[in-house]
Amino acid sequence: MAKQSSLNISGREKIAVLMVSLGNDIAPEIYKKLDDATIELITLEIANLRKVSPELKLEVLKEAQEVLMAREFMARGGVDYARDVLERALGPERAQNLLARITASLQVKPFDFMRHTDATQILGFIQNEHPQTIALILSYLEPPQAAMILSGLTPEMQAEVTKRIATMDRITPEVLREVERVLERKLSTVMGQDFTMAGGIDAVVALVNSADRTTERNIMEYLEENDPELAEEIKKRLFVFEDIMRLDDRSLQRILREVDMKELSLALKGATEELKTKFFKNMSKRAAEMLQEDMEYMGPVRVKDVEEAQQKVVNVVRGLEEQGEIVIASGGDDDLVV
């Protein structure tokens, strides 16, 4: 009788063995993520499955682990990074075979390699490119990294690039490939054939939310002057330090439990009296007095330091919203929090 091996069974049989090996606790969770046709195929394969040896189960589980590991490495640092790590872990031959099996179907996000490249290096490489090219690249990067790059551009270029991101719609593979050819020495992607979405208002909001206050102000001032409708649409989706004035008392009290008082005293140095009063009335009398004393003893401070402190407070607000602790409504001037 021939020894069972993952080398001499089909892909469907491997999936069936994998599902059986994962057991009744994990397999149903995987089924929930599959379509009906796939579930039917796998179920039929499981029903026709012969007796599976412990050795085959182990072999299939190990292969699945290696595939997942390879995909994770490719997503994290590209094909070359995955190959290097896998060769160290599995040896050159097994690593190459594994990558060859998955790269045909794996899609890596355009410009994915840049996610692990220093923002300053990217800035130096693209700052003289056409605004449309820069907009295309930034729209594919993570917002914090894109914001760092954007902040290094001139105010005029910041606004121009932001506008182009906001008005960008669908990008053909040909356009992407042309930009990638310009950056070919730093590029490692596996392209798909379908149109892919890039940019849009949401991309700009995420980018501006991650930018420093100076960059944010430059962008919004330019757009308010040159494209008021776009500026208004972006402002509806943003939350800045001054918008704390619109929060209800319960939300502000929740925020105060998370904010560092030293950061808050610095942030309030640049706030209106109305906003200061709102903070004070939502604190205990003793805490409000201590906060006011800290502000008085602080003396003159740099605007940059105040803006950084305000941004930290805003980050707390956004973090609480992500956790579901507070809700910030978008687009409403009269009732921001519901």
The encoded tokens of residue 163 equal: 């506008």
- Count of helices and strands (H, E) across the chain: 17, 2
Determine the Cα–Cα distance for residues 271 and 197; give it in Å rounded to an integer: 39
The pLDDT score that the predictor gives to residue 53 is 78
The pLDDT score that the predictor gives to residue 113 is 58
The pLDDT score that the predictor gives to residue 182 is 66
Q: Which sign does the torsion angle of CA 156, 160, 161, 163 carry?
A: positive
Determine the Cα–Cα distance for residues 89 and 147; give it in Å rounded to an integer: 36
Q: Give the burial class of 245: count Cβ atoms within 10 A of its Cβ; 0-12 exposed, 13-18 middle, 19 or more buried.
A: middle
**Helix/strand/coil (H/E/C) assignment for every residue in 68-88:** HHHHHHHHHHHHHHHHHHHHH
The pLDDT score that the predictor gives to residue 187 is 43
The pLDDT score that the predictor gives to residue 180 is 67
DSSP-assigned states of every residue in 88-147: HHH-HHHHHHHHHHHTTT--PPTTGGGGGS-HHHHHHHHTTS-HHHHHHHHHHS-HHHHH
The pLDDT score that the predictor gives to residue 29 is 77
| DSSP-based three-state secondary structure for 62 | helix
Q: Give the burial class of 74: count Cβ atoms within 10 A of its Cβ; 0-12 exposed, 13-18 middle, 19 or more buried.
A: buried
Mean pLDDT by 10 residues, the chain (338 residues): 54 78 75 70 70 79 76 68 76 76 55 68 79 86 85 90 83 70 51 44 70 74 82 76 87 92 89 92 92 86 86 86 73 39
| 88 C-beta neighbours (distance < 10 Å), count | 10
Side-chain half-sphere exposure of 144, counting CA atoms within 13 A: 5
Instruction: Give all domains of the chain, ordered by start, each with its CATH number.
Output: 6-102 (no CATH), 112-237 (1.10.220.30), 241-322 (1.10.220.30)
